[in-house]
Structure 1
Amino acid sequence: MPIDDKTRKQINLALCTALQENPRVTVKELFRIIASLRNWKKLHGSAQQILDKPFEDRILVGPYLYCNSDMKVTLHEEKDVEKVNSMGFAISLVGNYSYLQVSRHGKGNLSYAELIKPSFPEKVTLEGGITDDERAWFDQWFATPKRLNPDIKPEWDDAEWELYGLMRNPRQNFFEVGKELRIPWEMVRERFQRIVKDCKVFVGFFPLGYSQYDHLLVTMRTEYEIGIREFLKGLDRSSWLFKVDDLLVLYLFHTHINLTCLKFGEMNCMGIIEDVRVGIPLDVDKERFLIV
């Protein structure tokens, strides 16, 4: 008998939380989390099957490590393909922008990045106008302007930066990474335990499955940066939140573009956000975008 939808979402979100808190959490501990939430009176399959399924269906994506490493993000309005392809990683867009480009050339301007962990049950919706129930949420988080605190670049040596590059997937085998670096696995573990303290852990939660959502890039200027973050936390799925110079960049996963734009249109009319622009991604390298 399959797990009911509510229990499945509770288990998957609990697994997401555990991986964010400790990206190398043991399988035994993940089994314990599953056991605490499943209904033992019903046959739901083994704990291993329950653990594997959200990753197979891409309901859970990650974990990935991230730290501020002086990346530069540029939003191009012109269609200069050669210029964009000359450096870094780019996503083609249709709308107010032609490309989003990420590179390490020049001075970094990406001061904040986060893959937002959502809520269950959801507190706000992405698709549709602002409801009466949501207005209390908006009144709470958009009462006072608050800015995001920038991500601090770690002060690592060359060996630690090299390890970070190899351990973006933090569940990799220390022994295999040690062979590549030609150092003992114990040294890999020691260095990893040091650098992970300076990193964010990104785990995406997409209850319908990652491939079932359409993508939308939205940029805006606002004094309510913390409010925008709380709004994204109230959704039922993960979203990307970036700050590039003085611009907030949201990378959203939606099921209806017109209703999603309606939400931000109403937020614009309320004076919460301004200078709102959108771009529809065309040729997203989805896995790579998750770990830039």
Structure 2
Amino acid sequence: MEYRHVPLVEQFEKVSSHEDTFYAVLLLGAHSLLCFSASDTGTNLTYAKCIFPSYPQKNEIQNIDPCLHEPGKLPRMAPPDWSSFDWDVFERRRDPTESSTKIGGALGVSHRKILNSYKRILRDCSIWIPFFPNGYGNYTPYFVSFETDYETGFVEELKKIDRSSYVYRIDNTMLLNLFFEKRLEIDSILQLEKKGIIHDLRVSSPMYSFERFQSQQGIPEPGPSPSRP
């Protein structure tokens, strides 16, 4: 949602209270609100990934150059073809202390059926465990959105730095949640626009976030879970 001149606090609180919302961020800058939610009509979130970095780093964030790679678009992420039973297993598996036997008892099935469903679920999931060597609170987060022919190049370059980044694509727009040690490092992204590598650049900074499965608010650490089809 584009910027409306004042923070959309009421709208943020409203979407955060919706049962289907699993991630929302109140923003300042070019956009005012980011929200990911489950929907029966599909989703325009076509890609989501937590980048696992290089440590020690192979490059600095202000020096990333997606043009070192061939132009390429990221693969389109399809909603998982899960049954309602699979979704029930997925929700319960968020608690690592619950055994397959306990979940099976709650759902009225054998633990083996739970394990078989869980194996199918794992094939459709990606690891979302970020790494911040200086501690999460010692970085300045930004959300930057743009269009580019070098989507895959950005992913490869972000793998070279020493901290995680979150990569999304919404329709044809790439959205990066980047973490800088110094605020001036954001200038490196502006330079990419001047060079014509990216266009329609929008920059925002987060104020508050909601992540349903963490049950807390604050500057966003987590990313989205799979979208219910």
1:113 counterpart = 2:41:
no
| Conserved 8 A contact 2:8-2:26 | no
Gaps of 5+ in 1: 1-74
Which of 68, 92, 106 aligns to 1:140? It is: 68
| Conserved 8 A contact 1:220-1:275 | yes
1:281 counterpart = 2:168:
no
- TM-score for both structures, normalised by structure 1: 0.64
Q: Structure 1 residues 162, 91: CA separation in 2 closer, same or farther (over 3 Å shift)?
A: same
| Conserved 8 A contact 1:117-1:205 | yes
Q: Distance in 1 between matches of 2:201 and 2:144?
A: 7
Matches within 5 A, 1:78-117: 78=4, 79-84=7-12, 85-86=14-15, 87=18, 88=21, 89-105=23-39, 106-117=41-52
Quote the residue 1:163 is aligned against. 89
Q: Whose helix fraction is larger, Structure 1's or Structure 2's?
A: 1
Q: Distance in 1 between matches of 2:119 and 2:66?
A: 39
Q: Structure 1 residues 194, 90: CA separation in 2 closer, same or farther (over 3 Å shift)?
A: closer
Quote the residue 2:182 is aligned against. 256
Which of 194, 197, 212 aligns to 1:272? It is: 197
1:209 counterpart = 2:152:
no
Which of 111, 127, 132 aligns to 1:185? It is: 111
| Conserved 8 A contact 2:67-2:150 | no
Gaps of 5+ in 2: 225-229
Q: Distance in 1 between matches of 2:74 and 2:118?
A: 27
Which of 51, 55, 59 aligns to 1:124? It is: 59
Q: Quote how far apart the aligned CAs of 1:226 are.
A: 0.5
Q: Give the length in aligned residue pairs.
A: 208
Q: Quote how far apart the aligned CAs of 1:139 are.
A: 4.7
Amino acid at match of 2:112: E
Q: Distance in 2 between matches of 1:138 and 1:119?
A: 17
1:11-31 superposed Cα distances (whole Å, 9 cap, x missing partner): xxxxxxxxxxxxxxxxxxxxx
- TM-score for both structures, normalised by structure 2: 0.80
Q: Percent identity?
A: 28
Quote the residue 2:227 is aligned against. none
| Conserved 8 A contact 1:76-1:100 | no
Q: Quote how far apart the aligned CAs of 1:154 are.
A: 2.3
Cα RMSD for the two superposed structures: 2.4
